[in-house]
Amino acid sequence: MSAENQLRVIFITNDRKNKEKAIEEGIPAFTCEEYVKSLTANPELIDRLACLSEEGNEIESGKIIFSEHLPLSKLQQGIKSGTYLQGTFRASRENYLEATVWVHGDTEDNKEIILQGLKNLNRAIHEDIVAVELLPKNQWVAPSSVVLLDEGQNEDDMEKEEERECILKTAVSEKMLKPTGRVVGIIRRNWRPYCGMLSKSDIKESRRHLFTPADKRIPRIRIETRQASTLEGQRIIVAIDGWPRNSRYPNGHFVKNLGEVGDKETETEVLLLEHDVPHQPFSQAVLSLLPKMPWSITEKDMKNREDLRHLCVCSVDPPGCTDIDDALHCRELESGNLEVGVHIADVSHFIRPGNALDQESARRGTTVYLCEKRIDMVPELLSSNLCSLRSNVDRLAFSCIWEMNHNAEILKTRFTKSVINSKASLTYAEAQMRIDSATMNDSITTSLRGLNKLAKILKKGRIENGALTLSSPEVRFHMDSETHDPIDLQTKELRETNSMVEEFMLLANISVAKKIHEEFSEHALLRKHPAPPPSNYEILVKAAKSKNLEIKTDTAKALADSLDQADSLTFPYLNTLLRILATRCMMQAVYFCSGMDTDFHHYGLASPIYTHFTSPIRRYADIIVHRLLAVAVGADCTYPELTDKHKLADLCKNLNFRHKMAQYAQRASVAFHTQLFFKSKGIVSEEAYILFVRKNALVVLIPKYGLEGTVFFEEKDKPKPRLTYDDEIPSLKIEDTVFHIFDKVKVKIMLDSSNLQHQKIRMSLVEPEIPGISVPTDTSNMDISEPERKKKKLQK
C-alpha cells in the first residue's frame, strides 16, 4: 500500500490520562468535542455533543442552588437503616414546584411522600428512582391546589421562585397534612429523549436557549445550538446530559428535528414517542420469519387440527376492519341442543416462541389505534391477511366450542385447533339488518339469530350476577376524503349485535381462563380487575345525593342495581352521566401470573376468573394464552419460558405498561383531532353537563362531541369573581350562582393557539348568565358554517 493511501488512525477519548498516554506514544488523540469541532464541513454536528463539563458552565453566577446528591453507598446504607426511603419520583403536571414519591416496599403509612419547592425536589426528574429523607412533622405540608406552570424566561431568577413557593403554603387543617420529604440522592436516572420546542433566547446571537418539553412534568432543558432560528416553531428532540448544582435547569443537547408544530405527521410522531409506542417499521430479521407467499394450508398444518370448513361461520366487526380476530357459529344438534363456536385466529401457529418476530410482538405488546393510523403489533401480512379470518378463504383458528341448551346453560366445553372457512364478514349494522329482516332465512341469518337469542340470556345472567354496565363517551371522527381533516365528530352508536359478539367473547375468555388455570395453576396468564377502595366512590355517592338519588357501593351488584334504578324522568341523560362518573372511580384491569397472586377476581365482569384469548392479532397476552391452551389440549409443545412464573410476571409488567400507554396515546390522538376539528369550525356554543367542581373551575362534558373540558374562573388579566367551594356537597358558588355536579350549563368552545406547544380547547360559560363572568353566545366571529364551506368548495 502506498504511503498516501495509508489509513490514518486517530484515538478519540474523553479520558484525560488515556489521551496523554496516546500522545506520548505518538498516536494522534482528541477528545470527542475536539474531533467534532474539527469537522468544519458539518458545523451542525456540534449541537449534538453532550454537555459534559459541569465546571464549564459558568453561565450561572456560580451560586449553589441545590444541595449535593449523596453517593450511592451512603444512600444504600441509609435505606437499609431506615433513615432514607427509596421510591419513584412522580412530578406534577399542574405544578412544577411539587412532586410525590411512591415508596417501594410495603410501608403502608408512608406509601406516598410529598415534596414541595425546588430545593426539596433537588434535581430529580419524573420517573427517576430516588432516595428521600422525611422532614420532621412540623414541616409537613398539604398537596397544593394551585396550578403553577414554569413560564419564566429569566433562568436565574431564584428570588421569584421563592416567592412562588410561598403561594404553595396554604392554611390547611391538620388532617390534610401529608408525610413530606426532600430528595437526598438519585439511585437511578430514568431519562429518555424528550420531544418539545425551543424557547429562543431573547439575547441576540446567543447560542444558549431553553427547550420546553411537551410533557409538563419534565423541567425545561438548557441546550446550545447554532440553528435556533431554523428550529423555532419546530418539534425537536433533546436529551438531558446532566444537572449541575449551580444550574436552575438541567443541561442537554439537540438530537433531532421532527418537523413543524401542528403538522399532522409531526404531531403523530410526537405522540408516539412521548407515549413510548414502538412504531419503527418491522426489521428485516422479523420480516424474514413470515411465511412465503402464496401461502396455503399443508398436510403438516392439519396435524392436531380439526377440519371445520363445513360449518356456517361468520364474523361481525366494525366497518373497515381488516384485522379480524374472531368468528362465530351456532347450529342445532340432533339432540335439540345448540352448538356454539367461537373461532379465534391461530396467530401462535405463525409466531414461534423466542424468535425475532415473537420478541418484537412481545415488546410492542398491543396494536395501537390512533384516529387515522394503526400501529400493528404484528406485520401486516399476518394482521390483515393470513391471520385475519376473512370470508371465503381457508384460515387456521383456535376454536372454543360449547354445547348449550336453549337457556344458554353450558353442558359441554371443548377446545381444538381448527381450520375454518368464514361464509361472511359482516359489519355490526349488516348483522343487525339480517337478524331484524322478515324475509331472510338463510343459514348465516339463522345462525346469527340463534347467537343473538343466547347472548341476551347470557347478558341477563351476567347482570344479575353483578356485572357492571359502565359508560364512556366514545368519539368517532368523519374525515374529509381529500384533506383527511376531521369534518364531523359524533359519539359512537352501539347496536344489539355489538353486545352479541361481546357476550361470546367474554364467555370464551372465561372458559379458557378456567382451563389454563386447571392445567397450570402456577403459571397461567390471567387478567384481574381489583375492586376500588370505598374512598374512590365518594364523589359518585355525593354527586348522586345532590340530585336526591342513592348509590350503594358495598358490592359490584349493589352498585349495578343502584345505577339501574337511578333514573330521572325529567333528566334522561343523568343515568349516562352517573355511569361515566362510575367509570372514573374504577381501578385499572391488569394482567398477572396466577402463581404470583391470590386474588383473581374481575370486579367489572363479576367473574371469579378471567383472561384474554380472543384478540391475538392485536394483543400479545392472548398469544401466550393460546400457547398455554395449546399445551393443555395437546395441540402444541411447551417451552421453558412458558412455565417460568417469574418470566411471566415480568412479561405482564411490560404488557400492562404498553396497554396503559396505548390508551393514553389514543386519548391524545382524539384530543389532537378534536383541536383540528374546532380549528376549522371556529367558535361554537353547546350544551354541557358538569362532571366535577374544582376550587376555581368546572369540568364539563359536552355530549354532542363526547368532549370533556375545563371552564376556568380565575384568569390572568380578568377580574376575579367571588368563589366559594364546598367539598362536602360538592359545589362551587360563583358570585351568587351555585353549581353542582350534573348541572346543565351552556359553554362556548374555541381553540386557543396562544401557546403553540400546548394548543388547547378553551371553554367559557355562556349560561347561566353571571354578570362579568359569562360570555355572550355571539357567534358573529365564527368561521363560515359547514354547508357554506361545502358550497364554496363545490363552486371552486
Collapsing DSSP to helix, strand or coil, 45 comes out as helix
pLDDT of 686 reads 87
Q: CATH code at 713?
A: 2.40.50.140
Examine the fold and report which residue of 667, 699, 717 is the final residue of a domain before the chain moves on: 667
Q: Do both 385 and 404 map to the same domain? A: yes
How confident is the model over 627-640, as pLDDT tens digits?
999 999 998 889 99
Q: Do both 86 and 231 map to the same domain? A: yes
Q: Do both 505 and 556 map to the same domain? A: no
How confident is the model over 639-656, as pLDDT tens digits?
999 999 999 999 999 999
pLDDT beyond 70 at 55:
no
pLDDT of 338 reads 97
Read off the pLDDT band of 331 (50, 70, 90).
very high
Residue-number span of the structural domain to which 511 is assigned: 284-528+590-667
| Most confident residue range from 195-199, 285-289, 752-756 | 285-289
Mean pLDDT of 389-417: 96
d(CA 568, CA 574): 7
Q: Do both 122 and 228 map to the same domain? A: yes
pTM for the structure as a whole: 0.81
d(CA 122, CA 115): 10
Domains in the chain, number? 4
Q: Do both 422 and 380 map to the same domain? A: yes
Q: Which three cell numbers stand for residue 598?
A: 391470590
Q: Which region holds residue 13: left if phi is over 0, alpha if psi is between -120 and 50, else beta?
A: beta
pLDDT of 546 reads 82
| Most confident residue range from 344-348, 492-496, 736-740 | 344-348
Mean pLDDT of 729-733: 86
**Is position 305 within any domain?**
yes
Q: Which residue has the higher pLDDT, 710 or 171?
A: 710
Q: Which region holds residue 138: left if phi is over 0, alpha if psi is between -120 and 50, else beta?
A: alpha
- Using an 8 Å Cβ cutoff, are 530 and 576 in contact? no
Q: CATH code at 86?
A: 2.40.50.690
pLDDT beyond 80 at 121:
yes
Q: Do both 550 and 432 map to the same domain? A: no
The proportion of the chain whose per-residue pLDDT surpasses 90, expressed as a percent, equals 49
pLDDT of 765 reads 87
Q: Do both 388 and 447 map to the same domain? A: yes
**CA dist 408 → 78, 228, 288, 392, 405 (Å):** 61, 68, 46, 29, 6
Mean pLDDT of 164-175: 61
Q: Do both 650 and 707 map to the same domain? A: no
The proportion of the chain whose per-residue pLDDT surpasses 70, expressed as a percent, equals 86
**Is position 432 within any domain?**
yes
**Is position 556 within any domain?**
yes
How confident is the model over 309-323, as pLDDT tens digits?
999 999 999 888 888
Mean pLDDT of 407-412: 96
pLDDT beyond 60 at 330:
yes
d(CA 181, CA 134): 4
Q: Which range among 695-704, 730-739, 775-784 shows the weakest confidence by mean pLDDT? A: 775-784
How confident is the model over 353-383, as pLDDT tens digits?
999 999 999 999 999 999 888 999 999 999 9
**Is position 1 within any domain?**
no
Q: Do both 522 and 457 map to the same domain? A: yes
Q: Which residue has the higher pLDDT, 705 or 560?
A: 560
Q: Do both 314 and 385 map to the same domain? A: yes
* Beta-bridge mates of residue 764: 748
Examine the fold and report which residue of 566, 585, 604 is the final residue of a domain before the chain moves on: 585
pLDDT of 5 reads 64
Read off the pLDDT band of 240 (50, 70, 90).
very high
Q: Do both 174 and 102 map to the same domain? A: yes
Q: What are phi and psi of 619, to 5 degrees?
A: -140, 130
Q: Do both 230 and 298 map to the same domain? A: no
Read off the pLDDT band of 717 (50, 70, 90).
low
Q: Which residue has the higher pLDDT, 618 or 65?
A: 618
- Name residues whose C-beta falls within 8 Å of residue 555's C-beta, 6 or more positions apart in sequence: 466
How confident is the model over 660-690, as pLDDT tens digits?
999 999 988 988 888 888 887 888 888 899 9
